[in-house]
Structure 1
Amino acid sequence: MTHPIVGTWMLQAFHTEDVATGERSEPFGAAPRGTMMFQAEGRMAALMTPGDRLAPTTEAERAVAFQTMVACAGAYRLEPPDRFVIAVDVAWFEPWIGSEQSRTYTIVGDRMEITSAPTRLPRQGADDATVIATLVWARQGSAADSSVSGSASEGS
Protein backbone atom coordinates (compact mmCIF):
# COMPACT_ATOMS: atom_id res chain seq x y z
CA MET A 1 0.00 0.00 0.00
CA THR A 2 1.33 3.43 -0.95
CA HIS A 3 1.81 5.91 1.88
CA PRO A 4 -0.54 8.95 1.70
CA ILE A 5 2.44 11.34 1.46
CA VAL A 6 3.38 9.95 -1.97
CA GLY A 7 2.31 12.18 -4.83
CA THR A 8 2.45 15.75 -6.04
CA TRP A 9 1.40 18.56 -3.71
CA MET A 10 0.65 22.19 -4.56
CA LEU A 11 1.40 24.96 -2.06
CA GLN A 12 -1.66 26.78 -0.70
CA ALA A 13 -0.18 28.85 2.16
CA PHE A 14 3.19 29.53 3.77
CA HIS A 15 4.00 31.52 6.88
CA THR A 16 6.94 31.73 9.24
CA GLU A 17 7.23 32.67 12.88
CA ASP A 18 10.50 34.20 14.10
CA VAL A 19 11.60 32.15 17.13
CA ALA A 20 13.29 35.17 18.78
CA THR A 21 10.50 37.72 18.35
CA GLY A 22 7.32 35.73 17.68
CA GLU A 23 6.74 37.86 14.58
CA ARG A 24 4.63 36.03 12.01
CA SER A 25 4.97 36.77 8.32
CA GLU A 26 4.07 35.49 4.87
CA PRO A 27 7.47 35.72 3.18
CA PHE A 28 6.03 34.73 -0.21
CA GLY A 29 2.82 36.75 0.09
CA ALA A 30 -0.78 35.68 0.46
CA ALA A 31 -0.73 33.40 -2.60
CA PRO A 32 2.63 31.60 -2.78
CA ARG A 33 3.42 29.11 -5.54
CA GLY A 34 5.08 25.79 -5.03
CA THR A 35 5.23 22.13 -5.91
CA MET A 36 6.46 19.28 -3.77
CA MET A 37 6.76 15.70 -4.98
CA PHE A 38 7.28 12.56 -2.93
CA GLN A 39 8.10 9.38 -4.85
CA ALA A 40 7.26 5.96 -3.47
CA GLU A 41 10.93 5.05 -4.06
CA GLY A 42 12.02 7.50 -1.36
CA ARG A 43 13.03 10.69 -3.22
CA MET A 44 11.46 14.10 -2.93
CA ALA A 45 11.85 17.55 -4.45
CA ALA A 46 10.28 20.90 -3.58
CA LEU A 47 10.29 24.38 -5.09
CA MET A 48 8.50 27.44 -3.67
CA THR A 49 8.37 31.07 -4.83
CA PRO A 50 6.27 34.15 -4.16
CA GLY A 51 3.04 34.10 -6.15
CA ASP A 52 3.46 37.61 -7.49
CA ARG A 53 7.01 37.15 -8.77
CA LEU A 54 7.94 38.80 -12.07
CA ALA A 55 10.60 37.62 -14.50
CA PRO A 56 13.88 39.30 -13.52
CA THR A 57 15.55 41.49 -16.14
CA THR A 58 18.60 42.85 -14.28
CA GLU A 59 21.35 41.29 -12.17
CA ALA A 60 19.84 42.87 -9.04
CA GLU A 61 16.41 41.42 -9.87
CA ARG A 62 17.96 37.98 -10.49
CA ALA A 63 19.63 38.16 -7.07
CA VAL A 64 16.30 39.01 -5.44
CA ALA A 65 14.60 36.16 -7.34
CA PHE A 66 17.19 33.72 -5.98
CA GLN A 67 16.79 35.08 -2.44
CA THR A 68 13.01 34.76 -2.60
CA MET A 69 12.73 31.05 -3.28
CA VAL A 70 13.13 27.74 -1.51
CA ALA A 71 14.28 24.65 -3.36
CA CYS A 72 15.67 21.33 -2.23
CA ALA A 73 15.71 17.66 -3.10
CA GLY A 74 16.98 14.45 -1.62
CA ALA A 75 16.15 11.07 -0.22
CA TYR A 76 13.47 11.01 2.45
CA ARG A 77 12.45 8.60 5.16
CA LEU A 78 9.28 8.47 7.21
CA GLU A 79 9.50 8.40 10.99
CA PRO A 80 6.06 7.44 12.31
CA PRO A 81 3.75 8.71 13.37
CA ASP A 82 4.10 12.19 11.89
CA ARG A 83 7.61 13.04 10.74
CA PHE A 84 9.63 12.86 7.55
CA VAL A 85 13.36 13.54 7.25
CA ILE A 86 15.03 14.70 4.04
CA ALA A 87 18.71 13.90 3.44
CA VAL A 88 19.30 17.02 1.34
CA ASP A 89 21.64 16.54 -1.62
CA VAL A 90 20.79 19.71 -3.55
CA ALA A 91 19.39 23.03 -2.32
CA TRP A 92 19.29 26.74 -3.05
CA PHE A 93 20.68 27.36 0.45
CA GLU A 94 24.17 25.82 0.65
CA PRO A 95 24.11 25.09 4.42
CA TRP A 96 21.27 22.60 3.84
CA ILE A 97 23.31 20.42 1.45
CA GLY A 98 24.47 17.33 3.32
CA SER A 99 22.11 18.03 6.21
CA GLU A 100 18.95 16.29 7.32
CA GLN A 101 15.85 18.46 7.37
CA SER A 102 13.12 17.13 9.65
CA ARG A 103 9.46 18.14 9.35
CA THR A 104 6.28 17.11 11.08
CA TYR A 105 3.19 16.68 8.97
CA THR A 106 -0.51 15.99 9.19
CA ILE A 107 -2.54 14.70 6.25
CA VAL A 108 -6.31 15.03 6.30
CA GLY A 109 -7.93 13.98 3.04
CA ASP A 110 -6.13 15.83 0.23
CA ARG A 111 -4.54 18.47 2.48
CA MET A 112 -1.19 18.28 4.22
CA GLU A 113 0.17 20.71 6.79
CA ILE A 114 3.92 20.69 7.37
CA THR A 115 5.70 22.35 10.29
CA SER A 116 9.46 22.77 10.43
CA ALA A 117 11.69 22.52 13.42
CA PRO A 118 13.36 25.86 14.13
CA THR A 119 15.33 26.49 10.93
CA ARG A 120 17.84 29.16 9.95
CA LEU A 121 16.71 30.91 6.77
CA PRO A 122 18.24 33.77 4.83
CA ARG A 123 16.23 37.01 4.73
CA GLN A 124 16.50 39.63 2.03
CA GLY A 125 18.13 42.78 3.40
CA ALA A 126 18.58 41.37 6.92
CA ASP A 127 20.53 38.84 8.94
CA ASP A 128 19.47 35.21 8.78
CA ALA A 129 16.61 34.38 11.13
CA THR A 130 15.65 31.25 13.01
CA VAL A 131 12.04 30.54 12.17
CA ILE A 132 9.38 27.88 12.40
CA ALA A 133 7.68 27.51 9.04
CA THR A 134 4.14 26.26 8.46
CA LEU A 135 3.11 25.20 4.98
CA VAL A 136 -0.29 24.06 3.77
CA TRP A 137 -0.35 21.84 0.68
CA ALA A 138 -3.13 20.28 -1.40
CA ARG A 139 -2.82 17.14 -3.47
CA GLN A 140 -2.49 18.21 -7.11
CA GLY A 141 -5.78 18.11 -8.98
CA SER A 142 -7.89 17.56 -5.85
CA ALA A 143 -10.81 19.75 -4.80
CA ALA A 144 -8.47 21.18 -2.12
CA ASP A 145 -6.02 22.45 -4.78
CA SER A 146 -6.67 26.16 -5.27
CA SER A 147 -3.56 26.61 -7.44
CA VAL A 148 -5.10 25.21 -10.61
CA SER A 149 -4.27 28.26 -12.73
CA GLY A 150 -1.14 27.67 -14.71
CA SER A 151 -1.22 23.92 -14.16
CA ALA A 152 0.11 21.62 -16.86
CA SER A 153 -3.27 19.91 -17.13
CA GLU A 154 -5.02 23.05 -18.32
CA GLY A 155 -5.97 22.96 -21.97
CA SER A 156 -5.03 19.30 -22.36
Structure 2
Amino acid sequence: MSDIEARPLFGWWKILSFQVELEDTGERADTYGVDPLGHIVIERDRMMSILTSRERLSNDPAALFETMIAYSGLCRVEDEDRLIIKVDTAWHPAWIGTEQVRFFNVDRGVLAMTTAWQIHPSFPGRLARGVLMAQRNNV
Protein backbone atom coordinates (compact mmCIF):
# COMPACT_ATOMS: atom_id res chain seq x y z
CA MET A 1 0.00 0.00 0.00
CA SER A 2 1.31 3.45 -0.81
CA ASP A 3 1.84 6.14 1.84
CA ILE A 4 -1.06 8.15 0.41
CA GLU A 5 -3.48 5.23 0.81
CA ALA A 6 -2.29 4.53 4.38
CA ARG A 7 -2.24 8.21 5.38
CA PRO A 8 -5.69 8.19 7.12
CA LEU A 9 -4.15 5.84 9.69
CA PHE A 10 -1.09 8.02 10.31
CA GLY A 11 -0.99 10.40 13.25
CA TRP A 12 -1.73 10.66 16.97
CA TRP A 13 -4.82 8.93 18.35
CA LYS A 14 -6.38 9.32 21.81
CA ILE A 15 -7.77 6.00 22.99
CA LEU A 16 -11.45 6.30 23.90
CA SER A 17 -12.17 2.70 24.86
CA PHE A 18 -10.72 -0.78 24.93
CA GLN A 19 -12.84 -3.87 25.43
CA VAL A 20 -12.32 -7.60 25.24
CA GLU A 21 -15.11 -9.18 23.18
CA LEU A 22 -15.94 -12.87 23.73
CA GLU A 23 -16.67 -14.75 20.51
CA ASP A 24 -19.18 -17.23 21.95
CA THR A 25 -21.52 -14.67 23.54
CA GLY A 26 -20.56 -11.30 22.05
CA GLU A 27 -20.21 -10.05 25.63
CA ARG A 28 -17.69 -7.22 26.10
CA ALA A 29 -15.59 -6.40 29.15
CA ASP A 30 -13.87 -3.06 29.83
CA THR A 31 -10.58 -4.63 30.93
CA TYR A 32 -8.91 -1.22 31.47
CA GLY A 33 -12.03 0.52 32.82
CA VAL A 34 -14.75 2.46 31.03
CA ASP A 35 -12.52 5.53 30.53
CA PRO A 36 -8.94 4.32 29.96
CA LEU A 37 -5.94 6.57 29.38
CA GLY A 38 -3.75 6.11 26.35
CA HIS A 39 -2.51 7.06 22.94
CA ILE A 40 -1.44 5.42 19.71
CA VAL A 41 1.06 7.06 17.38
CA ILE A 42 1.34 5.68 13.85
CA GLU A 43 3.74 7.14 11.34
CA ARG A 44 5.10 5.94 8.01
CA ASP A 45 6.78 2.72 9.23
CA ARG A 46 6.60 2.89 13.04
CA MET A 47 3.95 2.79 15.73
CA MET A 48 3.78 2.99 19.48
CA SER A 49 0.94 2.57 21.90
CA ILE A 50 0.32 2.91 25.62
CA LEU A 51 -2.93 2.10 27.39
CA THR A 52 -3.61 2.17 31.13
CA SER A 53 -6.56 1.99 33.44
CA ARG A 54 -7.51 5.38 34.87
CA GLU A 55 -7.91 3.71 38.29
CA ARG A 56 -4.23 2.78 38.80
CA LEU A 57 -4.06 3.59 42.51
CA SER A 58 -1.96 0.66 43.68
CA ASN A 59 1.75 0.77 44.43
CA ASP A 60 1.92 -2.99 43.91
CA PRO A 61 4.10 -3.65 40.84
CA ALA A 62 2.06 -6.71 39.79
CA ALA A 63 -1.21 -4.74 39.91
CA LEU A 64 0.34 -1.89 37.94
CA PHE A 65 1.66 -4.31 35.31
CA GLU A 66 -1.80 -5.88 34.90
CA THR A 67 -3.47 -2.49 34.33
CA MET A 68 -1.36 -1.39 31.38
CA ILE A 69 -0.17 -2.35 27.94
CA ALA A 70 2.59 -0.63 25.98
CA TYR A 71 4.51 -1.60 22.87
CA SER A 72 6.17 -0.22 19.75
CA GLY A 73 7.76 -1.42 16.57
CA LEU A 74 8.13 -1.20 12.86
CA CYS A 75 4.80 -1.45 11.07
CA ARG A 76 3.24 -1.88 7.68
CA VAL A 77 -0.27 -1.75 6.24
CA GLU A 78 -1.53 -4.71 4.18
CA ASP A 79 -4.81 -5.27 2.33
CA GLU A 80 -6.02 -1.74 3.19
CA ASP A 81 -7.31 -2.83 6.62
CA ARG A 82 -4.48 -4.64 8.42
CA LEU A 83 -1.74 -3.00 10.44
CA ILE A 84 1.10 -5.41 11.19
CA ILE A 85 3.52 -4.41 13.94
CA LYS A 86 6.89 -6.15 14.37
CA VAL A 87 7.28 -5.49 18.09
CA ASP A 88 10.73 -4.36 19.24
CA THR A 89 9.81 -2.90 22.65
CA ALA A 90 6.99 -4.02 24.95
CA TRP A 91 5.74 -3.95 28.52
CA HIS A 92 5.65 -7.76 28.28
CA PRO A 93 8.86 -9.41 27.03
CA ALA A 94 6.90 -12.24 25.33
CA TRP A 95 5.71 -9.74 22.70
CA ILE A 96 9.21 -8.67 21.63
CA GLY A 97 10.02 -10.12 18.21
CA THR A 98 6.40 -11.05 17.46
CA GLU A 99 4.18 -9.66 14.74
CA GLN A 100 0.95 -8.25 16.10
CA VAL A 101 -1.88 -7.96 13.56
CA ARG A 102 -4.56 -5.30 13.99
CA PHE A 103 -7.58 -4.90 11.72
CA PHE A 104 -8.61 -1.26 11.38
CA ASN A 105 -11.07 1.18 9.90
CA VAL A 106 -10.84 4.98 9.95
CA ASP A 107 -14.08 6.90 9.57
CA ARG A 108 -14.41 10.67 10.13
CA GLY A 109 -11.47 10.89 12.51
CA VAL A 110 -12.39 7.77 14.51
CA LEU A 111 -10.16 4.71 14.47
CA ALA A 112 -11.73 1.31 15.13
CA MET A 113 -9.15 -1.42 15.67
CA THR A 114 -9.47 -5.10 16.58
CA THR A 115 -7.10 -7.96 17.21
CA ALA A 116 -7.53 -11.43 15.76
CA TRP A 117 -9.63 -13.93 17.71
CA GLN A 118 -7.42 -15.75 20.23
CA ILE A 119 -7.48 -17.45 23.61
CA HIS A 120 -7.38 -14.66 26.20
CA PRO A 121 -5.56 -15.29 29.52
CA SER A 122 -8.35 -13.63 31.51
CA PHE A 123 -10.97 -15.92 29.92
CA PRO A 124 -9.38 -19.41 29.79
CA GLY A 125 -10.60 -21.68 27.00
CA ARG A 126 -12.64 -18.93 25.30
CA LEU A 127 -11.88 -17.06 22.10
CA ALA A 128 -11.74 -13.30 22.50
CA ARG A 129 -10.48 -10.24 20.67
CA GLY A 130 -9.52 -6.73 21.68
CA VAL A 131 -11.74 -3.91 20.39
CA LEU A 132 -10.28 -0.42 20.55
CA MET A 133 -11.77 2.95 19.59
CA ALA A 134 -9.65 6.09 19.27
CA GLN A 135 -10.17 9.69 18.21
CA ARG A 136 -7.69 11.54 16.00
CA ASN A 137 -5.72 13.88 18.24
CA ASN A 138 -4.74 17.05 16.41
CA VAL A 139 -1.44 17.93 18.08
TM over 0.5: yes
Q: CA deviation at 1:120?
A: 4.9
User: What is the match of residue 131 of structure 1?
Assistant: 128
1:5-48 C-alpha deviation (Å, 9 max, x unpaired): 111100001110234665421001110111110122x1110000
Q: Which consecutive residues of structure 1, in runs of 5 or more, have no partner in the other structure?
A: 142-152
Q: Which consecutive residues of structure 2, in runs of 5 or more, have no partner in the other structure?
A: none
Q: 1:1-12 maps to which residues of 2 (within 5 A)?
A: 1=4, 3-12=7-16
Return the letter of the residue paired with 2:30.
Answer: E
**If each structure's strand is expressed as a fraction of its own residues, which one has the higher value?**
2
Change (3 A) 1:39 1:71: same
Q: How many residues align?
A: 135
Q: CA deviation at 1:52?
A: 2.2
User: What is the match of residue 72 of structure 1?
Assistant: 71
Match of 1:47 among 46, 50, 53: 50
Q: TM-score, normalised by structure 1?
A: 0.76
Q: TM-score, normalised by structure 2?
A: 0.84
Larger RCO: 1 or 2 (CA < 8 Å, sep 6+) = 2
User: What is the match of residue 28 of structure 1?
Assistant: 32
Q: Which aligned runs of 4 or more in structure 1 are off by greater than 6 angstroms?
A: none
Return the letter of the residue paired with 1:103.
Answer: R
Q: CA deviation at 1:94?
A: 2.3
Change (3 A) 1:4 1:76: same
User: What is the match of residue 94 of structure 2?
Assistant: 95
Cα distance between partner residues in 1 of 2:116 and 2:55:
27
Change (3 A) 1:92 1:121: farther
